[in-house]
Chains A and B, each alone.
Chain A
Amino acid sequence: METLMIILIGILTSVATYLVLSRNIIRVILGTAVFSHAVHLLILTMGGLKKGNVPLLTEADAPYTDALPQALILTAIVISFAVTAFLLVLAYRAYQDIGTDDLQALRGTNDE
């Protein structure tokens, strides 16, 4: 199961890398979103994917699942959601004002 997950994470990461390296800003933003999915799965996998009971004291005799990675992912999802939303608005505003979504054209010049 862990092996499958790691392969999936690898695929997601390579897709995201491909997207982030493109010149179109929307693709870059989508790339960062895919990146965040990959890392959330990674955190989940790192916590161990074994089946177990809920981590409660009354159920303590059975092996229990580590709940911390879920909590971490929840926080990370919220943050990446907020940042992606901000980034999309920023890209839209930049497109309106500068009139391009091509990163090559956003390099800027030295003489301003």
Chain B
Amino acid sequence: MMNNILVLPLIIPILVGILLVFLRPYIRVQRVISLLTMIGIAFISLYTLNRIQAEGILRLDFGGWKPPFGILFVADSFAVLLVLTASIVTAICLIYAFSSIGERHEKMYFYPFVLFLVAGVNGSFLTGDLFNLFVCFEVMLLASYVLLTLGGEKRQLREALKYVVINVLASWFFLVALAYLYGTLGTLNMAQISERVAEAGQGPLLTTISILFLIVFSLKAGLLLFFWLPGSYSVPPTVVAALFGALLTKVGIYALFRMFTLIFYHEPAITHNLIGIMAGITVIAGCIGALAYKDLRQIVSYNVVIAVGFILIGLAVATQTSLEGSIYYIIHDMIAKAMLFLLAGTMITLTGATKFDQMSGLIRNYPLFSWMFFIVTCSLAGIPPLSGFVGKVLVGQGAVETGSYVLVALGFFSSVVVLYSLLRIFLHSIFGETIISKEDEMPLKKGLLVPIVFLGIGTIALGLGTEALASYVSDAANTLSNPSVYIDAVLSENK
């Protein structure tokens, strides 16, 4: 079975994570092993991605149980592109962690939990079974609870309590929705659910269930129900916040895309319109948040919210073009948000202040670092040739095709707000009068700068190398807009 490779992005981080628990005192060994693991997974997913182009969607039936009876992993271009990006971003964040997180965290199993988090994220992307998706979500969430509370500061504990309770409730809704779906259709295999929904027609009952799923994944993705997000993303250490901002909401977004392109695509007048309205409100609320605060961490967290809304506009209009745009934008956003969180966190570490009007003139002290901030600002605003551009254009084009002009306007209005909110930081803290003298200047460690530069190169490369990525993304969007491709790949016998 050559397809065993599909389980590696889930199983390797778990096994290595368990191994690292026993290597607790050897911090250097832990660092090297965890970094190598993530690089290894990146290469594995790159290889898988190329195999999918050659052989079509791959699947792995665990224990040889043919679908729909067993649990299975399904790798299509969409899932594997996200696994690939997630591994690269995590590897780079790990490099940042080496010189920022501190020995106290490292000895308290920081690296194993990052790996467990990655295992949960990758599992959620790859699974083809709805209940298995729930389990992978929980693996990811439990790791995130620990990473959020690690260090045990008062405000971490305070925010973690809310974060955990909200997620326990979201998981409860997930189980309720699963129970109803199982009671209605009698299966949990996503391809078979899709087939049965198509056969039976998506009646009012199934549409209600689909809205239940919409609530669940919106809570996880921060679509409209994002009230928990700014609080909990602004308390953990910088690198953990970067991982959360880059990976966690994307898993919710991925699940929304799967559910509403593969399974519940029959009643777009209800479900997709609802997603459109929610996305619109999310964008507006995110913009208000990004402009209202002076605290860097809050501004950055609200930028996550804006991006979630923007990506979901692509799902709401659901044309092939807009789906392609959303996929580009998810990949871009993983890289750029990690970079933004790292930059904001580094600025706070360097100056000791959290609000942007308490910093000034950083460009004199840290020129390269400052230009990186400029790059990420342009990238998030969607200025060509950086990576945000393609996604924005394609989502906009798709929305124009279907005549959703309100969403187009909101989407591009949000770009201006993103630009303004970040440029405000740039002008205040990076330009402006230098207030830190050369003697008082805190040295910027190479270990902090290098990962940021890597991510900066990533966003430039993604923008310039769109052509190289185009075939993968169009294949991914093709699978999303034609559910039969996915269903045939899963339910056919000869694999």
Contact = CB atoms under 8 A, between A and B. Distances in A.
A32 B168 contact: yes
B157 A98 contact: yes
B182 A87 contact: no
B90 interface: no
B123 to A, nearest CB: 14
Given A39-B175, A75-B131, A47 B183 contact: yes
B175 to A, nearest CB: 4
Interface in B238-255: none
A69 B158 contact: no
A90 B164 contact: yes
Nearest to A44: B179
Contacts of B152: 93, 97
A94 B178 contact: no
Contacts of A86: 142, 145, 164
A103 B155 CA distance: 13
A43 B154 contact: no
Contacts of A29: 165
B495 interface: no
Contacts of B135: 75, 79
A35 B172 contact: yes
B287 to A, nearest CB: 19
A92 B258 CA distance: 38
A75 B132 CA distance: 10
A26 to B, nearest CB: 12
Contacts of B231: 108
Interface in A1-55: 20, 25, 28-29, 32, 35-36, 39, 42-43, 45-47
Interface string B167-179: 0110110011011
A52 to B, nearest CB: 15
Nearest to B158: A106
B450 interface: no
Contact of B182 (A46, A83, A98): A46
B162 A83 contact: no
A108 B169 contact: no
B33 to A, nearest CB: 26
Chain B, interface size category, equals: 20 to 34
B150 to A, nearest CB: 12
B159 interface: yes
Contacts of A103: 161
Given A32-B172, A108-B159, A112-B155, A87 B138 contact: no
Contact of A32 (B145, B154, B169, B180): B169
Contacts of B138: 79, 83
Contact of A87 (B134, B168, B183): B168
B477 interface: no
A80 B138 CA distance: 9
Contact of B157 (A32, A39, A47, A90): A90
A105 to B, nearest CB: 9
A46 B152 CA distance: 41
B284 to A, nearest CB: 21
Nearest to B153: A97
A88 B188 CA distance: 32
- By CB atoms of chain A within 10 A, which of B155, B172, B188 has the most? B172
A46 B183 contact: yes
B108 to A, nearest CB: 14
A43 B169 CA distance: 16
A62 interface: no
Nearest to A43: B179
B165 A28 contact: yes
B414 interface: no
Interface of A: 20, 25, 28-29, 32, 35-36, 39, 42-43, 45-47, 68-69, 72, 75-76, 79-80, 82-83, 86-87, 90-91, 93-94, 97-98, 103, 106, 108, 112
10 contacts: A32-B169, A43-B178, A47-B182, A79-B135, A79-B138, A80-B168, A83-B138, A83-B171, A94-B160, A97-B152
Interface of B: 131, 134-135, 138, 142, 145, 149, 152, 154-155, 157-162, 164-165, 168-169, 171-172, 175-176, 178-180, 182-183, 188, 231
Counting from the closest, the 6 A-B pairs by CB-CB distance are A46-B183, A94-B157, A43-B179, A39-B175, A46-B179, A42-B179
